[in-house]
Structure 1
Amino acid sequence: MDSLSEAVIAGAPAEELARLGPPAGFVAAHLRAEDAEMFTGVADKDVRKSLRVGEVAMPELAPDEVLVAVMASAVNYNTVWSAMFEPIPTFQFLKRFARSGGWATRHDLPYQVVGSDGAGVVVRVGSGVRRWRIGDHVVVSPAYVDDQEPATHNDGMLGAEQLAWGFETNFGGLAHYSVVRASQLIPKPAQLTWEEAACNTLCAGTAYRMLVGEHGARMKQGDVVLVWGAAGGLGTYAVQFVRNGGGIAVGVVGSDAKAEAVRKLGCHVVVDRREIGLDDTVADDPDRVLEVGKRLGRIIRRETGEDPHIVFEHVGRATFGVSLFVVRRGGAVVTCGSSTGYRHEFDNRYLWMKLKRVIGSHVANLQEQWEVNRLIGQGRIASALTELYPLAEVGEAARTVQTNGHTGKVGVLCLAPSPGLGVTDPDLRARLGIAGTAPLAPATWPNV
């Protein structure tokens, strides 16, 4: 291990970190461009075969960037997409970004360091960075925005050049070091461990924008909110926002264990997808879509007395037709992804004749991320971390997400040598009643 990494792990002061030069290379989870066709014609695109862990070169910092020593990160579904090379290899994103010129050309490499979550220590700052210093403990927003675009100054997510860090850019968070723009940085909540803090920004920020922020569904007190995949990374945060905002959360899950987990989070109604006959083939048959929608609607009305005001969508093809059918007249389906397929089919009569709305949402702007971080810092939103792997086993971690074998978020230790480190305000942690590990996690970490 290089001397800078050792100093970070030891908690060295900023002055010492500043004296130590970054290494020429570092360990990272990455994909190789030469592997982009490896899954052609293969039914099971097992991401353990494409994700590599090894040394890559240290990039030069742009003036508006910082170098973060990553203590912990997390797996999101975009890492699974990258590792499957679907819907297109993300190397195409890197080439397109590089064509914008300047510092962007560094990103077009024969490898891509992936990962869109991270918590760590700032160890270098570019010449144009003003608000951050070496030694700061930070978490990273995945929204990589261009501050020279006019639309960015209205909403960071509206800029045409907005990218997802570690998915549409290089130098992501599943590594010992990551390069991020200063406009991605947020102070790490002092009561959380590195792994707890690392799991929040992408999913919690996305769920906040979808449900609470002014650009999403604008949930209000008493709203019935249907949350697909309520036990997953996005779903566990969505359930918490609905609960905190005075809404009524109706969660759909796939097992008894996941049902119990979301009940602990405060989900008011839990529906097992097997109970309504939902599987990945329903979307292929319009009659089955209506059957599933009617079954689900009856359950929701029985338990809450009314149809949902909002449907929290990210599953995509397998559920979208049902979502459009089941949401109430004048209600909204807010969507941020399509993990089961991007091409959706639905009966448009239920959309136009009942004045329903579809709202597209993507990640969160920096202000929204700071608002979420404030709630996490107050203990009002809990980390959804449930599993933890070392960086060397990132393929197994991603495979767990790929096969939907997880609840909440799957974390990855990067430079942090063990779980439980990084808490700088233990008194606040005690006052908030946070246990030794995240609320949804087991008592011990079996994977590290």
Structure 2
Amino acid sequence: MDALAEAVVAGAPPEVLEREEVPREYLAAHVREEDTGMFAGVEDKDVRKSLRVGPVQMPELAPDEVLVAVMASAVNYNSVWTAMFEPVPTFAFLRRFGKEGGYAARHAQPYHVIGSDAAGVVVRAGAGVRRWRVGDHVVATCIQVDDQEPATHADGMLGAGQRAWGFETNFGGLAHYAVVRASQLLPKPGHLTWEEAASNMLTASTSYRMLISDRGARVKLGDVVLIWGATGGLGAFAVQLVKNAGGIPVGVVSSERKAELLRSLGCDVVINRSEIGIGGELTPERTIEQGKRLGRLIRREVGEDPHIAFDYVGRSTFGISVFVVRRGGTVVTCGSSTGYRHEYDNRYLWMNLKRIIGSHAANLQEQAECSRLFSLGKLVPVLSSVYPLADVAEAVRLVQRNAHIGKVGVRCLAPRDGGGVTDPDLRDRIGDERLTTLRNAA
């Protein structure tokens, strides 16, 4: 560990952090361009073979950027895609970004430092940064936007220049240091540990936009909401958001163990996907039969069809989602972990006046609104396990195999779990048991 990192871990004041030199290299989880063909013809693209942890060069800081000493980070599915080099190697994103020139050129490297979540301490701020200072405790949100693009000022997610940090950009959060734009930062909630705070923003804010924002499905009191993958990072936050909005969450999971954990989160209705018969060849007839079976299960439990389907699973579930929501209902989607090409019977969409809403991440205002809910105790982390940075490949493999629940955290500079709490009174008021629900259950 370099001297600056040691000072951060020791809790040194800002004036000490400013005196310490920024290292020329730092430790980071990364993939290398030379490995992009390693999985050709291989069925099990084991990410433990492609992910490396080792030194990379420290980039120069742009005027609107901040260097964060990362205490903890988290695994997201985009880390899996990056390490599998699918659907395309992310080096294509880095080269395209680099062609913009200027500071963007730094991103086109033969290595890609991954990670789209982070919590840590500001150790340097660019000349154009106004709202952040050395020593601030922050969380990094996952989207970088182009603030000189007109569409950004209507909604940051509409700008063509928006990118997923640590996936479509370099210098991500699974490392000792991360380079982020000042417009990515929010204050770290003081009642959360480093690893808890680092595990929330990508998935919680994505679910917030999908369900609560006026750009999403806008859940209201009494709405029945079907949530696929309800013990995943996105799904577990979706359950909490629906409950807080006064809706009725109907969670679908893949095992009885996950069903028990989902009930511990307070999900009203829990369905094991084996009851629906998901699996095997995808045919229009089979999709309709699965939809009918799911509809019967939901009506048996709540007496009516769902208003909303929350779907990030994609190919294996999307046709069912379109079929099963009620007349005038909504399917909201933010991803396709089982495949991007969706098939559905359009008669059930157009003749029943249903809607499909595409949603991606969240803009900074939505992220700030979501973060506030943690400080109010309305949302709690869904962290289930934490790995040291040295074992990050095992953590990403866990998510690749869908053998996890909630979120999988990674300690980067934090020497142990449980550090970083600066508001113990708020933590006591919310209750440590609530804040660690999934971790205790796991």
Q: Normalising to structure 1: TM-score of the pair?
A: 0.97
Q: Which amino acid aligns with 2:134?
A: I
Distance in 2 (alpha carbons) for counterparts of 1:429 and 1:218: 30
435-444 or 63-72: bigger deviation: 435-444
Q: Would the aligned equivalents of 1:420 and 1:436 in 2 still touch at CA under 8 Å?
A: no
Aligned residue in 1 for 2:63: 63
Any unmatched runs of 5+ in structure 1?
none
Q: Residue 442 of structure 1: CA displacement?
A: 3.0
Aligned residue in 2 for 1:361: 359
Distance in 2 (alpha carbons) for counterparts of 1:107 and 1:378: 37
Secondary structure of the 1:70 match is: strand
Q: Normalising to structure 2: TM-score of the pair?
A: 0.99
Q: Which amino acid aligns with 1:310?
A: I
Q: Would the aligned equivalents of 1:207 and 1:234 in 2 still touch at CA under 8 Å?
A: yes
Q: Residue 304 of structure 1: CA displacement?
A: 0.9
Q: Residue 439 of structure 1: CA displacement?
A: 2.0
Distance in 2 (alpha carbons) for counterparts of 1:418 and 1:322: 44
Q: Would the aligned equivalents of 2:24 and 2:58 in 1 still touch at CA under 8 Å?
A: yes
Distance in 1 (alpha carbons) for counterparts of 2:310 and 2:150: 30
Counterpart of 1:438 (choices 430, 436, 441) is 436
Q: Residue 443 of structure 1: CA displacement?
A: 7.8
Q: Residue 256 of structure 1: CA displacement?
A: 1.2
Aligned residue in 1 for 2:134: 134
| Alignment deviations for residues 265-310 of structure 1 (CA, whole Å, 9 cap, x no partner) | 111100000111112x35x211111111111000111111111100
Q: Residue 399 of structure 1: CA displacement?
A: 0.5
CA distance change for structure 1 residues 288 and 436 in 2, over 3 Å: closer, same or farther?
Answer: closer
Q: Residue 436 of structure 1: CA displacement?
A: 9.7
Secondary structure of the 2:21 match is: coil
Aligned residue in 2 for 1:168: 168
Determine whether 1:20 maps to 2:42.
Answer: no
Aligned residue in 2 for 1:401: 399
Q: Which amino acid aligns with 2:130?
A: R
Secondary structure of the 1:359 match is: strand
Q: Would the aligned equivalents of 2:380 and 2:434 in 1 still touch at CA under 8 Å?
A: no
Aligned residue in 2 for 1:258: 258
Q: RMSD of the alignment, in Å?
A: 1.1
Aligned residue in 1 for 2:427: 429
Distance in 1 (alpha carbons) for counterparts of 2:351 and 2:42: 42
Counting only pairs closer than 5 Å after superposition, residues 283-294 of structure 1 correspond to structure 2 as: 284-294=282-292
Aligned residue in 2 for 1:206: 206
Number of equivalenced pairs:
442
Counterpart of 2:408 (choices 397, 410, 414) is 410
Find runs of 4+ consecutive structure 1 residues off by over 6 angstroms.
Answer: none
Secondary structure of the 1:67 match is: strand
Counterpart of 1:352 (choices 347, 350, 353) is 350
Aligned residue in 2 for 1:45: 45
Determine whether 1:153 maps to 2:169.
Answer: no
Determine whether 1:34 maps to 2:34.
Answer: yes
Q: Residue 431 of structure 1: CA displacement?
A: 1.2
Q: Which amino acid aligns with 1:258?
A: K
Aligned residue in 1 for 2:387: 389
Distance in 2 (alpha carbons) for counterparts of 1:183 and 1:190: 20
Q: Would the aligned equivalents of 1:14 and 1:134 in 2 still touch at CA under 8 Å?
A: yes
Aligned-residue sequence identity (percent) comes to 69
Distance in 1 (alpha carbons) for counterparts of 2:333 and 2:435: 31
Any unmatched runs of 5+ in structure 2?
none
